[in-house]
Amino acid sequence: MTTHLETDEHRALRSAVAALGNRHGRDFDREQLWSEAAELGYLGVNLPEAYGGGGGGIAELSIVLEELGSAGCPLLMLIVSPAICGTVIARFGTEAQKSEWLPGLANGTLTMAFGITEPDAGSNSHRITTTARKDGADWLLTGRKVFISGVDIADATLIVGRTEDARTGRLKPCLFIVPRDAEGFTRRRIDMELNAAEKQFELTLDDVRLPAGALVGDEDAGLLQLFAGLNPERIMTAAFAIGMGRYALARAVEYARDRTVWNSPIGAHQAIAHPLAQAHIDLELARLMMQKAAHLYDAGDDVGAGEAANMAKYAAGEACVKAVDQAAHTLGGNGLTREFGLASLITAARVSRIAPVSREMILNYVSHQTLGLPKSY
Ligand SMILES: Cc1cc2nc3c(=O)[nH]c(=O)nc-3n(C[C@H](O)[C@H](O)[C@H](O)COP(=O)(O)OP(=O)(O)OC[C@H]3O[C@@H](n4cnc5c(N)ncnc54)[C@H](O)[C@@H]3O)c2cc1C
């Protein structure tokens, strides 16, 4: 796929990352790829140069994730570590937090996970109950989280909670950096039917004692600070989905060009060719919206980026699920063999439809925010 909406630097980045991805491929070793991508400066392309980053934005980071995904080796932690955590710390962190975390997040020696989802809140994050109470200069953090990715490989997790005096009502979130081995911070791996290098965990925080400096930015910054991280998360999830969709589509096209069971390759039958062409169009359209969202976000338009990032995530998630489904179908029985590697993508693709915000919640957002329709909940 090519696009002329990107600069020469963007195109050079795409092809360099694609070359790295193609050297690793679908059987990639996550740690090895992470450290090679780090050495080449790809993990922190969006982080400020003053802290060892590349000085670019989410446009660049999304290119990195999309191209790795399209080579079959997406690094899921790019969505959380540099995109959410790195962005929030760079924009709102204290000087001490920036110097402690950003250089490591940029060069890949430090990784940070992100935890907002709770068992009893799910899509309704206004209902989260993880609560921080003051104890002298310290904070004590108590609550539960679920489906949090990569907590075992991350040095810390950025936990979204609320302060005791804002315990109920509309969410006024506050963000805490919780080190992996903090006392009272325990994790249980969730047995997911996903063939991915990164695992998901249920977390329990039982009076986890944190110093004042663990609170990112300002206790009163609220939703503004949280959304500074959630919009990049949506844009990056779109990149993840588009990369995976491209990978699956390419495998199907290769197969359909050669596989012959009548007089011509199966790709000559329009019943096989057209759905693949549609999948390509849908992925291209999703990417266009992703580029718009990244452009708005990097230009500082948080409100415009919010709508575009939601729409990009929706479009990319749907395009990915359809592309993977059609790709597996194109291979007939081979679509379900381990050798061809598409069957496991059928579940993996669906992650982009449910996380970090589900298809239905985006349709709700567009219904209410964009179209001004009334709310049912
Ligand atoms: C592989 C994976 C990795 C993840 N990683 C992370 C992570 O690192 N950090 C993190 O914080 N979270 C993570 N999540 C959690 C993810 O963000 C949530 O699963 C997601 O937000 C949905 O929440 P839920 O699973 O509780 O579903 P629920 O909120 O219970 O929703 C269930 C269904 O009901 C629908 N629904 C709910 N409310 C409405 C409504 N008002 N209108 C219409 N339909 C509605 C939803 O669309 C969905 O289809 C991850 C999830 C997965 C699967």
pTM above 0.75, yes or no: yes
Domains of the chain by range and CATH? Answer: 8-111 (1.10.540.10), 113-214 (2.40.110.10), 223-370 (1.20.140.10)
Q: In terms of Cα–Cα distance, which of 199, 205, 210, 166 is closest to 184?
A: 205
| Substitution site in 116, 146, 147, 366 for ligand 1 pocket (most atoms within 8 Å of beta carbon) | 147
Output the residue whose Cα is nearest ligand 1's atom 19. Answer: 355
Our answer on whether the CB atom of 200 is closer than 6 Å to any ligand 1 atom is yes
**Residues comprising the chain, all counted:** 377
The rounded mean pLDDT for the chain is 95
Please report, in tens digits, the pLDDT of each residue of the chain (377 residues total): 445 689 999 999 999 999 999 999 999 999 999 999 999 999 999 999 999 999 999 999 999 999 999 999 999 999 999 999 999 999 999 999 999 999 999 999 999 999 999 999 999 998 999 999 999 999 999 999 999 999 999 999 999 999 887 666 677 889 999 999 999 999 999 999 998 999 999 999 999 999 999 999 888 777 888 888 999 999 999 999 999 999 999 999 999 999 999 999 999 999 999 999 999 999 999 999 999 999 999 999 999 999 999 999 999 999 999 999 999 999 999 999 999 999 999 999 999 999 999 999 999 999 999 999 999 98
- Enter the tokens of residue 273: 């060719």
The CA-based angle 162-167-170, given to 5 degrees, is 85
Contact 147 CB / ligand 1 (< 6 Å): yes
User: In Å, how far are 2, 18, 27, 322 from 288, measured between CA atoms?
Assistant: 11, 19, 29, 18
* Nearest CA-CA partner of 315 in 235, 227, 369, 231: 235
Q: Is 240 in the pocket of ligand 1 (CB under 6 A)?
A: no
Per-residue pLDDT tens over the stretch 289-332: 999 999 999 999 999 999 999 999 999 999 999 999 999 999 99
